[in-house]
Every structure is written in structure tokens, then in C-alpha cells.
């Protein structure tokens, strides 16, 4: 890695996830001449435009045409280039769904999708611009890797890591007003590996994206006020998921709660539930996300509060999960 | 430049062989898209045996020309042409459509040597071709990207998104064909979803249009030579064809978009092909 790639030099307090992404891609562009950037009239909104300004001959704006965007990216990958494609998550995962699946994943192309405005991060815009389905869609595609970074620093780590990670990668970030979580980049980010932010034995909080910061605030509060020993796992990579960290949490804490800015069906919560169900181990479990509805309109922070994805919501959920009964042994008779 | 008599004879021999092969594979496989395979066969033949700068011994050679058969259902024609070009044995195609065969009816580039891009879902090929042509330009490579579209396929909006981009970026290293056989699954293109004035649509999207008889090697050659030399932007070769070309009972018949052939019908089909080539 060249000297330009120390993300902590970026002013993460005032730079958004997307701005940091744009800057990181510029730096990577110096090191990797095969990187090309593509967008569909969202060069500025997604911040890939920074790369476009620095490398105009390696940047393609296809206009408002997302199907073409991902087809063109597939062709450029076929030509031996390394495309980074940026548009809003809703268009990447749904407008161009089949192009991502058939053109990129089926051919197992080395193509990186950095999708912005994920979840309810553009809450004011309404459901056309919300995206609470993308993780479910993307993780159902063979060959696809799915990452939801916690903040700008983790976004930088993910973008950096995906360059050398083979095959298609989908990185979902927000609109850019998410508070920063990490102070430094050297906390051991690795694609497919959960980051344990706090150790505990009473309950495990599993989170990704904007819920990481909220879960950590809640965990600190619960430790101090409820005397709970809380484990917090940042599972930034939803596919391939870190089964070992989840099963260890089941074994050692026996209570798990998942928080994500996504429909409760098909996202991180479902991925974690799969791991638990297939293990045959019992535990108290809940998942909190957008409860299978189209999101209300509003500023993201108000929506997070409404859907119990802020620290207060996490605390409320944890207290419920601590009361949940679950089957710890093979004897079902005492439960029914 | 016009083709020599010898070149035409050789191409016609390949085309005769391709039509026999298509009939055989349709028989072996239980069913294939034979109508559109026969309409596009001559384009595949002239590309592989005259124009494409490729090396069957080194299918991934990075400076090769690329071909995208965007009408991916033409796999029944594409696969035997690749076999006869030398990418694999023709007899391998006896497994076509069968359990764990590398050859499904829409060819998979990760399983079949010589296939540059996996296609099958219509409307995907031209965007990928635009990406390849841009990729060549960015890397200052002089290989060409060829793309063959079905006419019915041009109902797909993504074709026109890509067409807009191809002319916007003045992609003179992209050569597009439309197999204008006039038929789709549910009827004629004009009944189901009218394309005409089709060439004007392409012109309006910034393409130079060459209208040719898609079964006439001289006309195809002239159009390809023109397209390769044209520097101002992309060229589309509007190739008028007949679905089922060469098999009299299939020609221009909607029902032969897809079908199977028993031994008797295979013999009749081959006899018809032989008559067309004066071999009967």
C-alpha cells in the first residue's frame, strides 16, 4: 500500500462515508491503473465524481440508465479493467437487479458496486429512494460478497479490501450524514470477519451500518444501569457471514438481538437466524429492522427512533430479550 | 472489398456445415431455437471464418476481437461454429441440453471455450459490448467488439440505453448486427411490438445503418469492411434474414422459433439445406 492510503488522515469528523469513499478511490486509482469508475448521473451524489475529476479518461457517466450502467461495467471488467460502480442502492439492487445478477455475478466478474443512500438514509425522499431490500437481494446472488460498513472509516477499509478480493462485491453505505464510529482504521477489518467491539456474557448485540454506533451506546448504558454484560458484534460482512462468531455468541451468551437498517426479512437478521437454526442450538433471539413495510418519510434520525434502531430502541429490545424464555435443553415438555 | 469466388465457396461450405450441425444438435438435444439459429448462421460463419481475430488455441488471448451473441438463444448455431473453428470437438455437442453438460441452450462463458460473454436474457448484450469497446479504448487496444442482436430483442429498453451510449461515446470499435428475421415468439415483430421504421430508430440514436441481405456473404463483407473503416461512430448492420433459413418447412414460420426434430424430420431438413446449396 502506498503512503496515501492511511485513511485516518481523512477528517472523518467532517467527511461523510461517501466523501471518504470518493477520496479512497482516488488514492487507489493511483496505485491500480486498471480501476475505472462508473456512475449514472449520480457522480456527485455518490462522490465517485471525485475519481472522475482526477481520472477523467477512466470515468464513464452513462446518464440515467442503470441497466446499461451495470452492463457496461460487466463489459469493462471483461476487457480486463476493475470497475467501481456507484449509484443509489435502490437502483443498483432493483432497477438493475438482473444486470447485476446475470451480467456480473453469473460471469463472476471482478466488479465492485458501492451503493449509496442505503436503508432509510435518504428518509425525506420517500420510499422510491429508500432501500430496505438490497441486502436480501444481493446476498441471494451466487458469487456476490455483501458488506455494510459502520461508518466512513470502515467504508474506507472495505473499499480498500475489496480491490484485492476476487469477484463481485456490493458495499452499501448511507447518504452521508451518518456519525462516525471508528477513530482509527487499524482495528482489524477483514472481509468475512466480525469485529467484536465489546465482550460480554449476558447477551450479544449484532449490528451493521448505522446501528453499530447505536448498539454500542446502548451497550454502555445497559452495563452501567442494568448491570448487564453485553457483547457487541459488528458484522459488517453479511455474506460470507462469520458463522464462528455467531455460534460463539450463542454458546457464550445464549441471547442474541440483531439490529439493521433493512427489512426484517432477508437481511443480516435472517442471515444470523440461518446460522443459529442450522446449528441446532437454542437461544433467545430477536431481529429489529424495518418491520416489513415501506418506511415512513422523515429525517433518518427520526426514522431510526421510530423503528427502534436508535440507542433507546436497542435498550428497550435488550430488556425484552433478557425476559424471553427459550429452550436450553432437549426437553420440550416443560416449555409447552 | 468484394469476396473472391474461392472465399465465397469456402464460406458457403461452412454455412452448409453449420446448418447441418444445427439440425443435428436440435435432434440430439430434444429441442432448440432452430429458427433463429438458422437466420443468424451466416453472420456467425463470416465472422469466425473471415473477420474475427481470434485464436482457438488461446481462447483468452487478451488482444482478440470479442463477439457477443446477445440473442443468446442462438446457442444452437453459435456452439457448432465454435466447434468447427476449433475451440472443442463437435461431438462434445451430443450432450447439448443434457444433465451437467457444459452446453445449455444459452451458452455459458465459464463453461464453453470461445464464448466471450454469457447471454440468454435479452437486452443484455449491447450494454456489455459498449463496456468492452470502452475498455479497449481506455487501454488503447485496437481489437473490435462485435455484437449480434435479435430484432425482437430490440423491444428491450436496455438496448436503446446502450445505443445512446455507443453513439455518445462515438464507439467506432463496436460493430453491431441486427438479425432482422421479422419474427418473435408470439408472432411477427410488427404485430407484437412494431419496430419500423427500425433503421430510422437506429439513425436517430446516432448510428450509421447498413442494410444488407443477411444471407449474402458479399453484402455482409462489404458492410463489415465499411464498419471497420468508419471512424465517426458506431455502425449497425441491419441484416434482413429469414427465420429457419435453408429448411423449407421452417422458413418464416413462427412456430419454428423453438422445436425438436425426429430422425425423419432431420433428414427432410438436411435435404432441404442440400437443395439450397445445390448439393442435392
pLDDT of residue B81: 98
Q: Report chain B residues whose CB lies below 8 A from the CB of A109.
A: none
pLDDT at A7: 42
Residues A139, A220 share a domain: no
Give φ, ψ of A283 to 5 degrees: -165, 160
Residue A226 lies in a domain: yes
Per-residue pLDDT tens for B158-199?
999 999 999 999 999 999 999 999 999 999 999 999 999 999
Judgement on whether residues A132 and A203 belong to the same structural domain of the protein: no
Check B158 against A71: CB less than 8 A apart. Answer: yes
In a domain, A267, yes or no: yes
Q: Do B128 and A75 touch (CB under 8 A)?
A: yes
In chain B, beta strands by DSSP E:
66-69, 145-150, 174-180, 183-184, 187-188, 208-213, 235-240
pLDDT at A3: 39
| Cα Rg of chain A (Å, integer) | 20
**Best interface-test mutation with A: which of B59, B61, B70, B131 has the largest number of A CBs within 10 A?**
B131
Measured between CA atoms, the residue of chain B closest to residue A67 is B158
Residue of B nearest to A82 (CA): B135
Report the number of distinct structural domains present in chain A. Answer: 2
Give residue A13's pLDDT: 74
What secondary structure letter does DSSP report for B277?
T
In a domain, A189, yes or no: no
- Chain A contacts of B206, Cβ < 8 Å? none
**Sequence-ordered list of residues with C-beta below 8 angstroms from that of B143, at least 6 positions apart, any chain:** B53, B63, B64, B65, B66, B136, B173
Which of B60, B121, B135 is the best residue to mutate to test the A interface, defined by the most A CB atoms within 10 Å of its own CB?
B135
Q: What is the pLDDT of residue A327?
A: 72
A99 touches chain B (CB under 8 A): yes
CA distance A178 to A159: 17
Question: Do B118 and A108 lie within an 8 Å CB cutoff?
Answer: no
Residue A210's pLDDT is what? 96
Residues A165 and A200 in one domain: no
Residues A161 and A225 in one domain: no
Q: DSSP label at A64?
A: S
Cβ atoms of A115 and A175 within 8 Å: the answer is no
**Catalytic position from the list A3, A19, A66, A243:** A66
My answer on whether A215 and A75 are in the same domain is: no
Question: Is residue A40 domain-resident?
Answer: yes
Reported ipTM:
0.95
**Domain-wise residue ranges, chain B:** 5-276
Output the CA–CA distances (angstroms, integers) from residue B30 to B76, B93, B105, B117, B236, in the order listed.
Answer: 12, 13, 11, 25, 34
Residue B49 and residue A324: Cα distance in Å, rounded? 72
Judge: B158–A76 Cβ closer than 8 Å, yes or no.
no
| Interface test with chain A among B108, B117, B128, by most A beta carbons within 10 Å | B128
Contacts of A76 in chain B (CB under 8 A): 131-132, 134-135, 138
Same-domain pairing of A121 and A32? yes
- Superfamily of structural domain B5-276: Thiamin diphosphate (ThDP)-binding fold, Pyr/PP domains (3.40.50.970)
Do A164 and A252 lie in one domain? The reply is: no
CA–CA distance, A172 with A39 (Å, rounded to integer): 15
Contact criterion met (CB < 8 Å) for A99 and B129: no
Contact (CB, 8 A) for B42 and B15 = yes
Q: How far apart are CA B4 and CA B7, in angstroms?
A: 5
Contact B165 A62 (CB under 8 A): yes
Candidate from A63, A71, A80 with C-beta closest to B124: A71
Contact residues, chain B, for A75 at CB < 8 Å: 117, 127-135, 145
Domain that holds residue A242: 195-323
Residue B213, φ and ψ in degrees, nearest 5: -80, 115
Indicate if A37 and A136 belong to the same structural domain. yes
Same domain? For A92 and A204 the reply is no
The minimal CB distance from B135 to the residues A67, A80, A98 is found for: A80
Q: Are residues A96 and A204 in the same domain?
A: no
* CA A110 – CA A74 distance, rounded (Å): 8
Chain B residues with CB-CB distance to A70 below 8 A: 127
Among A57, A76, A79, most B C-beta atoms within 10 A, so best to mutate, is A79
Print pLDDT tens along chain A (336 aa): 333 444 445 667 778 888 899 999 999 999 999 999 999 999 988 899 999 999 999 999 999 999 999 999 999 999 999 999 999 999 999 999 999 999 999 999 999 999 999 999 999 999 999 999 999 999 999 999 999 999 999 999 999 999 999 999 999 999 877 888 999 999 999 999 999 999 999 999 999 999 999 999 999 999 999 999 999 999 999 999 999 999 999 999 999 999 999 999 999 999 999 999 999 999 999 999 999 999 999 999 999 999 999 999 999 999 999 999 887 666 656 544
Whether A48 is covered by a domain: the verdict is yes
A66 annotated active-site: yes
Same domain flag for A49 and A166: yes
Confidence at residue A40, expressed as pLDDT on a 0 to 100 scale: 96
Residues in chain B with pLDDT values less than 50: none
Which of A:17-76 have CB within 8 Å of B? Answer: 36, 57-58, 60, 62-63, 65, 67-68, 70-76
| Predicted local confidence at residue B62, as pLDDT | 96
| Beta-carbon separation of A79 and B130 below 8 A | no
Same domain for A208 and A100:
no
Using CB atoms, which residue from A63, A72, A102 is nearest to B131? A72
Q: Pick B131's closest partner by Cβ from A65, A73, A108.
A: A73
Shortest CB distance from B127 goes to which of A71, A77, A79? A71
Give the other-Cβ count within 10 Å of A10's Cβ: 18
Provide the CATH number for the domain around residue A286.
Answer: 3.40.50.920
Determine the distance in angstroms separating the CA of B165 from the nearest CA of chain A, rounded to an integer: 6
What is the C-alpha separation between B259 and A154, in angstroms, rounded?
A: 54
Amino acid at each position: 500500500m502506498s503512503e496515501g492510503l492511511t485513511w485516518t488522515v481523512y477528517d472523518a469528523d467532517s467527511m461523510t462515508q461517501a466523501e471518504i469513499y470518493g477520496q479512497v478511490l482516488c488514492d487507489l486509482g493511483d496505485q491500480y491503473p486498471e480501476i475505472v469508475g462508473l456512475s449514472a448521473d449520480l457522480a456527485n451524489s455518490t462522490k465517485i465524481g471525485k475519481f472522475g475529476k482526477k481520472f477523467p479518461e477512466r470515468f464513464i457517466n452513462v446518464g440515467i440508465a442503470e441497466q446499461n450502467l451495470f452492463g457496461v461495467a460487466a463489459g469493462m471488467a471483461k476487457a480486463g479493467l476493475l470497475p467501481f460502480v456507484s449509484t443509489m442502492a435502490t437502483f443498483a439492487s432493483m432497477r438493475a437487479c438482473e444486470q447485476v445478477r446475470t451480467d456480473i455475478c453469473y460471469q463472476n466478474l471482478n466488479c465492485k458496486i458501492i451503493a449509496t443512500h442505503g436503508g432509510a438514509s435518504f428518509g425525506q425522499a420517500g420510499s422510491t429512494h429508500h432501500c430496505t431490500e438490497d441486502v436480501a437481494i444481493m446476498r441471494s446472488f451466487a458469487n456476490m460478497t455483501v458488506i455494510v460498513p459502520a461508518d466512513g472509516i470502515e467504508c474506507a477499509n472495505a473499499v480498500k479490501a475489496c480491490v484485492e478480493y476476487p469477484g463481485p462485491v456490493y458495499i452499501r453505505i448511507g447518504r452521508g450524514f451518518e456519525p462516525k464510529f471508528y477513530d482509527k482504521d487499524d482495528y482489524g477489518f477483514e472481509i468475512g470477519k466480525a469485529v467484536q467491539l465489546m465482550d460480554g456474557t449476558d447477551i450479544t448485540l449484532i449490528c451493521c451500518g448505522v446501528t453499530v454506533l447505536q448498539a454500542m451506546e446502548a451497550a454502555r448504558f445497559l452495563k452501567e444501569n442494568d448491570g448487564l454484560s453485553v457483547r457487541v458484534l459488528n458484522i459488517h460482512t453479511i455474506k460470507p457471514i462469520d458463522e464462528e462468531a455467531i455460534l460463539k455468541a450463542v454458546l457464550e451468551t445464549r441471547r442474541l438481538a440483531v439490529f439493521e437498517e433493512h427489512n426484517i426479512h432477508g437481511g443480516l437478521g435472517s442471515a444470523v437466524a440461518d446460522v443459529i437454526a442450522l446449528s441446532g442450538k437454542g437461544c433467545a433471539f430477536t431481529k429489529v429492522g424495518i418491520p416489513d413495510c415501506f418506511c415512513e418519510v422523515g429525517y433518518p434520525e427520526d426514522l431510526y427512533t421510530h423503528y427502534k434502531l436508535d440507542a433507546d430502541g436497542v435498550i428497550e429490545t435488550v430488556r425484552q430479550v433478557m425476559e424471553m424464555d427459550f429452550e436450553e435443553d432437549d426437553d420440550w415438555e416443560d416449555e409447552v | 472489398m468484394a469476396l473472391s469466388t474461392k472465399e465465397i465457396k469456402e464460406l458457403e461450405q461452412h454455412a452448409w456445415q453449420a446448418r447441418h450441425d444445427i439440425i443435428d444438435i436440435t435432434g440430439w438435444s430434444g429441442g432448440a431455437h432452430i429458427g433463429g439459429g438458422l437466420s443468424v448462421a451466416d453472420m456467425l460463419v463470416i465472422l469466425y471464418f473471415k473477420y474475427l481475430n481470434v485464436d482457438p488455441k488461446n481462447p483468452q488471448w487478451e488482444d482478440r476481437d470479442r463477439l457477443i451473441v446477445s440473442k443468446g438463444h442462438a446457442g444452437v448455431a453459435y456452439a457448432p461454429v465454435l466447434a468447427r473453428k476449433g475451440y472443442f470437438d463437435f461431438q462434445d455437442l451430443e450432450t447439448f441440453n443434457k444433465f451437467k453438460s457444459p452446453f445449455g441452450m444459452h451458452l455459458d462463458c465459464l463453461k464453453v471455450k470461445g464464448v466471450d460473454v454469457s447471454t440468454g436474457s435479452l437486452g443484455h448484450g449491447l450494454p456489455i459490448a459498449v463496456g468492452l469497446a470502452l475498455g479497449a479504448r481506455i487501454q488503447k487496444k485496437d481489437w473490435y467488439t462485435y455484437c449480434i442482436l435479435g430484432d425482437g430483442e430490440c423491444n428491450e429498453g436496455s438496448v436503446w440505453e446502450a445505443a445512446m451510449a455507443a453513439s455518445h461515446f462515438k464507439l467506432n470499435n463496436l460493430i453491431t448486427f441486427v438479425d432482422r428475421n421479422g419474427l418473435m415468439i408470439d408472432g411477427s415483430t410488427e404485430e407484437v411490438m412494431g419496430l419500423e421504421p427500425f433503421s430510422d430508430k437506429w439513425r436517430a440514436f446516432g448510428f450509421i445503418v447498413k442494410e444488407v441481405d443477411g444471407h449474402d456473404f458479399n453484402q455482409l463483407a462489404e458492410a463489415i469492411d465499411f464498419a471497420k473503416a468508419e471512424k465517426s461512430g458506431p455502425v449497425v448492420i441491419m441484416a434482413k434474414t429469414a427465420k429457419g433459413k435453408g429448411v423449407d418447412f421452417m422458413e418464416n414460420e413462427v412456430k419454428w422459433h423453438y422445436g425438436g426434430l425426429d430422425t425423419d424430420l432431420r433428414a427432410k431438413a438436411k435435404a432441404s439445406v442440400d437443395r439450397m446449396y445445390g448439393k442435392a
